[in-house]
Amino acid sequence: MPNTHPTSAAKWSLVVHRVNTSKVEVWVGTLFPTMAKPDKARIILSTEDGTQLKTKVINSSDWDRPFRKHGQRFYFVHTFTGLPEASFFRLEFQRKEKASWQQLRRGSFHTLPSSLPGPNQRPFTIGLGSCFYSHRDGGQAAASYKALYERKQKIDLTILAGDQVYLDIGFDSLSLWPSEIRQRIADDYAEHWQALGSILSRGGTWMLPDDHEYWNDYPFYDSLIPTLLALKISHVRSNWKRASNDAVKNIQRTKLVDFLEIGDDLSICFADTRSKRKKSGFLPKDAFRSVTDWAENLESPGVLVTSQPLIVKPNDNEANLLSFETQYKKLLSALASSGHDIIVLSGDVHYGRIATAELGNGGGKLIEIISSPLSNLTGLNGIATSVAKAKPETFPHSSVDVTGVPSKAVDYDRNYFVGKKKGRLLSAYPKDRTREHFMTIEFSKNTAGKVKLAAKAWRVRDRAPKTNLPVQEFEKAFQVALN
């Protein structure tokens, strides 16, 4: 007899979301409209050797919709608790078909350590990437990430720092029909989540949206880009915004501000500076205050995760964080106040580089690590590609006066610029572009007990001939002891 629910395992997703020392949040489901809800499914949590620890059964009535007004596409979120710290686990997502269970997706993760590991232990590792356009990727970003994770370097926490999807590309953006707008946004997520599957299922994943999770330069809509002209019609804009918000909330699982502590050694703040952006600021007042409170009370090095960088100059074409001068200045003052080093992890700008600048007069440094793109834009959209540059020359930029943070020269070491590939007119890549890549940032404690950072960049599309692992972009890792 035929299957009652014919399916393709490639159209199901398992995403490991937030993880800490004792629990993990797991997202399972499908974003494809042709799939039917299973009468029964389950998530199995196992140890590294395959010993089953916990099982969560999912009944047909348990599924939620990621998008309003969509009868298709469904997901379920479960949190496993009571797990030992710094331990490796496997996940299986299965559905029941008659008397047997069909494997749909697998995943794995580490619970986080309660303190940073020492010099001879596996470092706590963050994977960083942003800007993923699926058109010419061909599964290469996910395959290279999977190869590194499975065969060389486990990644504890993956940060996707914006533009995981490009919802505003294509002439179908001109549609005036609410149902078509919603379906197109949902279809884009289905395509991109399928392509990113081997990244999303390995290690805890935090995602921050940037403008293309909504539309170019969101929330502003005065662009003259032809495919975005329909946004000037209020009902188009409201339906687009509503569907985009559903995706950021229910699929990317983004919180406006979120925190993660690695014991007393490292403090991480995730700030979504895009979703609630207004002309008055990049964060609402209460959310902004929670970020500045975090910065002012740091007792260890801090990691600030944003979808746009801090070392920037004024931009008259699209808003960056400096465009919101009042909040930008207050944020820099807060970051400088503790005297601890701040690591900024970011994306958005279609190039990868590491830059360092003095942060105030308290002895702290700002170390900004940008990883972009995982996969380049193509065709007409390829004019938005970029390559790393040693600008701006000073931080903060000379156009702003920040209390307690005098403007100083930025240290750009070209050894830590991700390289470029030449463009060819009338090709899929008409302009010079940064090599597709992601980065890993390792944290550990050295023999003196100081926190040590080591950052590496990995090429998505170049593999070592003998190991098939992604090729390292930097000749040697960027390394620094943190204050």
Tens of pLDDT, residue by residue over 430-442, are 999 999 999 999 9
Distances (CA, A) of 382 to 136, 424, 432: 12, 11, 9
How many Cα atoms are found within 13 Å in the side-chain-facing hemisphere of 190?
21
Say if residue 76 is in the same domain as residue 208: no
Say if residue 69 is in the same domain as residue 121: no
Phi, psi (deg, nearest 5) at residue 184: -65, -40
The pLDDT score that the predictor gives to residue 124 is 98
Mean pLDDT of the chain: 95
Q: Average pLDDT, stretch 363-388?
A: 96
Q: Pick the last residue of a domain from 94, 112, 130.
A: 112
Say if residue 40 is in the same domain as residue 152: no
- 99 contact partners, CB below 8 Å, separation of at least 6: none
CATH code of residue 22: 2.60.40.10
Over residues 70-96, the pLDDT tens digits come to 778 999 999 999 999 999 999 999 999
The pLDDT score that the predictor gives to residue 173 is 78
Q: For residues 325 and 400, what is the distance between their CA atoms, to the nearest angstrom?
A: 8
Distances (CA, A) of 98 to 9, 35, 286: 17, 17, 51
Is the pTM of the predicted complex or chain greater than 0.75?
A: yes
Q: Average pLDDT, stretch 32-39?
A: 92
Say if residue 103 is in the same domain as residue 118: no
Report yes or no: 50 and 106 within 8 Å, Cβ to Cβ.
no
**Residue type at position 432:** D
What does the DSSP assignment read for 273-318? -STT-BTTBSS-HHHHHHHHHHHHT-SS-EEEE-SS-SS----SSS
Say if residue 62 is in the same domain as residue 160: no
The pLDDT score that the predictor gives to residue 1 is 35
Greatest pairwise CA separation for the chain in angstroms: 74
Q: For residues 48 and 46, what is the distance between their CA atoms, to the nearest angstrom?
A: 7
Helix (H) or strand (E) holding 336: helix 325-337
The pLDDT score that the predictor gives to residue 362 is 92
Say if residue 232 is in the same domain as residue 354: yes
Q: Pick the last residue of a domain from 97, 112, 127.
A: 112
Confidence of residue 170 (pLDDT cuts 50, 70, 90): confident
Report yes or no: 196 and 142 within 8 Å, Cβ to Cβ.
yes
Q: Evaluate if residue 5 carries a pLDDT over 80.
A: no
- 47 contact partners, CB below 8 Å, separation of at least 6: 53, 87, 88, 89, 90
Q: What range does the domain containing 99 cover?
A: 1-112
Kindly report the number of other CB atoms within 10 A of residue 340's CB atom: 22
Confidence of residue 6 (pLDDT cuts 50, 70, 90): very low
Strands (E), 115-199: 124-129, 157-160
Give the chain's domain count.
2
Helix (H) or strand (E) holding 357: strand 353-359
Lowest pLDDT segment from 13-27, 137-151, 216-230, 338-352: 216-230
| Cα 160 versus chain centre, distance | 1
Report yes or no: 112 and 157 within 8 Å, Cβ to Cβ.
yes
Over residues 398-431, the pLDDT tens digits come to 999 999 999 999 999 999 999 999 999 989 999 9
The pLDDT score that the predictor gives to residue 8 is 61
**Residue type at position 18:** R
Q: Average pLDDT, stretch 459-479?
A: 95
Q: For residues 289 and 97, what is the distance between their CA atoms, to the nearest angstrom?
A: 51
Say if residue 61 is in the same domain as residue 131: no
Say if residue 436 is in the same domain as residue 472: yes
Say if residue 236 is in the same domain as residue 121: yes
Q: Pick the last residue of a domain from 67, 95, 112.
A: 112
Q: Evaluate if residue 128 carries a pLDDT over 60.
A: yes
Say if residue 99 is in the same domain as residue 118: no
Report yes or no: 121 and 445 within 8 Å, Cβ to Cβ.
no
Report yes or no: 251 and 75 within 8 Å, Cβ to Cβ.
yes
Over residues 214-269, the pLDDT tens digits come to 999 999 998 888 889 999 999 999 999 999 999 999 999 999 999 999 999 999 99
Q: What angle do CA 302, 303, 304 make, to 5 degrees?
A: 115
Say if residue 103 is in the same domain as residue 159: no
Over residues 327-336, the pLDDT tens digits come to 999 999 999 9
DSSP designation for 73: -
The pLDDT score that the predictor gives to residue 249 is 98
| Tokens 């490009």, residue located | 166
Report yes or no: 343 and 301 within 8 Å, Cβ to Cβ.
yes
Q: For residues 76 and 43, what is the distance between their CA atoms, to the nearest angstrom?
A: 10
CATH code of residue 222: 3.60.21.10
Report yes or no: 410 and 423 within 8 Å, Cβ to Cβ.
no
Packing angle between helix 325-337 and helix 285-296, nearest 10 degrees?
20
The pLDDT score that the predictor gives to residue 4 is 40
Say if residue 169 is in the same domain as residue 58: no
For 246-256, b/e burial (b = at least 16 CB within 10 A) is bbbebbbbbeb
| Percent share of the chain, pLDDT over 70 | 98
